[in-house]
Structure 1
Amino acid sequence: MLGAAGCSKSADSSSAASSTAAAVYGSAEDYDYENFSYSSGLDENGYWEGVKALDYVTLPENFASLTFKRSEIEPTEEEIQSEIDSLLSDHATEKQVTDRAAADGDTVNIDYAGSVDGVAFSGGTYSGYSLTLGSGTFVDGFEDQIVGHTPGETFDVTVTFPEGYSDSTDSEGNTVVLSGKKAVFSVTLNYISEKVLPELTDAWVAENYGESDDVHTVEELKALYQKMLYNTNLQNAIMDDLLANSTFKELPKEVTDYQVNQCLNYYYTMANYYGYDLDSFVQTAAGYENADDLLEGMSDSITTYSKEALLYQAVAETLDIVPTQEQIDTYSSYTGTYGENYCTMVALMDAVTDALTESAVVS
């Protein structure tokens, strides 16, 4: 939940998802996203500063005792197995493969050295980089040209940097323009990395989770995931119900501006990390024309996150809920990154979630 914002690209959040979004949220240049701070606009109680949520949202009368069918909440065997599979994947070991050609989807280990017009540039050389082919991590065309090569080969990869890509420097500090330039990378394919999953046995479970979670058998592990998924499904059902049955007069600008700034700051930070300007990065990484198009495509998500933020506070205001010190302490190690007020807000959301799940009726 820490760092969550309406900036994830959902399946229906294409640039055409909301033709009215630009009018709703304006342009990226209207926001000070470069200086976004997670705790800015929040008070020490984890509330939106100067905002009374109940002035903007009317909760359904039965919000404190929502009812659900057990069949809608209980996780399926497929959902539990999916979690188990993900867990095993997290514990997979690496096997280095050198006797076949690289294919799309493989993770390969490579050395590379790039140059533009014969000049090597800062950031263009690396040894032992782990790259998943088809992930879109590198400039378009780079990963495709590794497919079909065999470990031990050294070959050239030629790509063109997109317009707007940041300048680099050579070994003497002189500027090397990369935007729109053709670059040649000498690439050595060291090996292909394959995952080897552990065998799910009682002994493996006991070794990895016997001490930390008091889980010693495969059946106990599945029961643990069943409980976790049940709680997650119930929490999601509660929020879906509140979103569908609460009445919103309007959304306070303080809350929507916060969500927009958080979303834009995420992409701005990633753009800086990879050496792009914001517009070029969202075009390359997210498929939008520019940051304004991003806001248009993300408008539904931003609105939903803003409503959820108001709902948590509205419930807290109505039921006089405050997080326990234990809930606050859960996030104490994150205050340096997110600030105390933001961490308190997340703890408050936990307290509200606990209260609503405990009072919900599942039959």
Structure 2
Amino acid sequence: MTKALCLLCAGALALTAAGCSKSGASSSAASSEAVSVYGSASDYDYQNFAYSDGLDENGYWSGIKALDYVTLPEDYAAIPLKKADIEPTEEDIQSQIDSVLSQNTTTRQVTDRAAADGDTVNIDYAGTVDGVAFTGGTYSGYSLTLGSGSFIDGFEDQIVGHKPGETFDVNVTFPDGYSDSTDADGNAVVLSNKKAVFSVTLNYISEEILPELTDAWVEEHFGTSDDVHTVEGLRAEFRQMLYQNNLNTAVMDYLLANSTFKDELPKEITDYQVNQCLNYYYTMANHYGYDLDSFLQTAAGYDSADALLENMSDSITQYAREALLYQAVAEAMDIAPTQEQIDTYSSYTETYGANYCTMVALMDAVSDALTTGAQVA
């Protein structure tokens, strides 16, 4: 969706292979000792969260008048902004170009040289401790970037210098506190502080090939979908996109800084943000076969869901205020989304519900009104 009112707690999380990733170590970046101003995760029914909860058919928070909780600045309909703060730089535009090219890279398999630090290699590995194979210690076709620190200390270094087709031993020691594993019969295999031997086969080195930015390449990738046919046309498209994004951000930043909020925000809105945050991780945990706390410890560096909630408290408050601001402006200016704006999100209604999609369309309508009225000089 083009706008995300609700709290996005984290980017996509991925669990690396258990046999030799660092994630098995029982360390944690956030302590659960502190208590969130929003209480404990056990206070919330996040398992049953739905995106349209608490929203009416107009995309408003049900039963809540936002203007009862927020006082908008007098100039909210004609926000003063400096053009220099909104105009994208050439560096910004080039960054977008580089990102698009990167997304369209191709790869080739290199087999005629030794692996070097920074290379992405494809490997098979089979690990043993005291001669015993353990669960998670064997994998075929794993893609590993050497020097990334993804695997336990010393593993990646010992691949450097080997050529594709070679099979060799990698000798490492699991760190203190690393989680136990099991053997083929289900017996416990202690890994903490244990020396391990991994038989590694280097299959190939992956090299990325960045496409050359030419008019022909732009025509192929953007000519039909975006009616952009030249390199200069693509730069102009990105310039306009970045300008609009910067303008949207500047408008909301101004409103957040110059509006006055009641100390106690509507519980329905803060609860919504908490439930969405916890549900995001709960869904990920279920996907990987974890309970919530175990997943947070393994993949996100938190002792528990309560520790996550404490760490996210300020963001929850900020997003609740942002939610109020959009609706407050809609109330003050009598804004409703057009059918066209609502239809933009029709393909998402099955996943998010019609009321949530209408709310996002309402945000679009509010943003359009505010950016149109902004005084940029």
Q: TM-score range by the shorter chain?
A: 0.7 to 0.9
Cα shift at 1:184:
7.3
Query: Partners in 1 of 2:270 and 2:177 — Cα distance?
Result: 31
CA contact (8 A) 1:283 1:289 kept: yes
* Bigger-Rg structure (1/2): 2
Q: 1:209 to 1:169 in 2, by over 3 A?
A: farther
Aligned length: 350
Q: 1:133 to 1:236 in 2, by over 3 A?
A: farther
Aligned partner of residue 225 in structure 2, secondary structure: coil
2:216 is matched with: 203
Aligned partner of residue 24 in structure 1, secondary structure: coil
1:100 is matched with: 114
Task: Please state if 1:304 is matched with 2:318.
Answer: yes
Q: 2:231 aligns with which of 188, 213, 218?
A: 218
1:5 is matched with: 7
Aligned partner of residue 25 in structure 1, secondary structure: coil
Q: 1:165 to 1:193 in 2, by over 3 A?
A: same
Q: 1:111 to 1:235 in 2, by over 3 A?
A: same
CA contact (8 A) 1:39 1:340 kept: yes
Query: Partners in 2 of 1:318 and 1:300 — Cα distance?
Result: 27
Task: Please state if 1:193 is matched with 2:195.
Answer: no
CA contact (8 A) 1:6 1:305 kept: no
1:65 is matched with: 78
The share of aligned pairs that are identical, in percent, is 66
1:55 is matched with: 68
Q: 1:120-141: CA deviations, max 9, x gaps?
A: 65x77654343445667x6755
Query: Partners in 2 of 1:244 and 1:272 — Cα distance?
Result: 39
Query: Partners in 1 of 2:159 and 2:229 — Cα distance?
Result: 43
- The alignment's TM-score, normalised by the length of structure 1, stands at 0.83
Cα shift at 1:255:
0.9
Task: Give the superposed CA RMSD.
Answer: 3.4
Letter in 2 for 1:270: M
CA contact (8 A) 2:5 2:322 kept: no
Letter in 2 for 1:199: E
Q: 1:182-239: CA deviations, max 9, x gaps?
A: 7876543322222211111112112211121111111111111000000000000000
Q: 1:276-304: CA deviations, max 9, x gaps?
A: 43333333433333322222222221111
Cα shift at 1:162:
10
Q: 1:96-136: CA deviations, max 9, x gaps?
A: 223222535x4333335568994665x77654343445667
- Tell which deviates more after alignment, 290-299 or 74-83: 290-299
Aligned partner of residue 84 in structure 2, secondary structure: helix
1:288 is matched with: 302
Query: Partners in 1 of 2:5 and 2:352 — Cα distance?
Result: 8
Aligned partner of residue 336 in structure 1, secondary structure: helix
Q: 1:38 to 1:107 in 2, by over 3 A?
A: farther
Query: Partners in 1 of 2:363 and 2:304 — Cα distance?
Result: 33
CA contact (8 A) 2:51 2:352 kept: yes
Cα shift at 1:57:
0.9
- The alignment's TM-score, normalised by the length of structure 2, stands at 0.80
Cα shift at 1:15:
4.8
Cα shift at 1:331:
1.5
Aligned partner of residue 51 in structure 1, secondary structure: coil
1:45 is matched with: 58
Q: 1:344 aligns with which of 333, 358, 371?
A: 358
Aligned partner of residue 60 in structure 1, secondary structure: coil
Q: 1:295 to 1:186 in 2, by over 3 A?
A: farther
Matches within 5 A, 1:1-363: 1=3, 4-8=6-10, 15=30, 22-98=35-111, 99-104=113-118, 106-112=119-125, 118=132, 121=135, 126-132=139-145, 144=156, 147-148=159-160, 149-155=162-168, 187-249=200-262, 250-363=264-377
Aligned partner of residue 190 in structure 1, secondary structure: strand
